[in-house]
Amino acid sequence: MKEEKLMDAMNNIRDEYLESAGKFLGQLEPEGGEKKPGGRRRGWVKIVLIAAVIASLLSFPAYALTEYLLNSPEQALKQALKEIERLNQLGIIRAEVEPDAEVRRIDKLPGGELGESYFHRILYPRYQVGISGEKYTFIAQLDMATGKFQLISVNAHPDEDDEPIYREEISQPGGNVQILEYYDNTDDIVSPELTIGELCQALAEYWGFEGYTLSGTKNEDYNWDTAAPDEDSLVKDICDGPYITVYFQGDQEGVPMYIEINRFSSYTSMSIGTNHMVG
> Over the stretch 225-271, which tens digit does the pLDDT of each residue have?
899 999 999 999 999 988 899 998 876 666 788 899 999 999 999 99
Domain spans in the chain, listed from the N-terminal domain onward: 2-60, 73-273
Helix (H, G, I), strand (E, B) or coil at 179: strand
Say whether pTM exceeds 0.85: no
> Over the stretch 40-78, which tens digit does the pLDDT of each residue have?
444 544 554 455 444 444 444 444 445 678 888 899 999
Distance CA 277, CA 279 (A): 6
Distance CA 146, CA 68 (A): 8
Distance CA 195, CA 160 (A): 28
pLDDT-derived band at 219 (thresholds 50, 70, 90) equals confident
Distance CA 105, CA 272 (A): 20
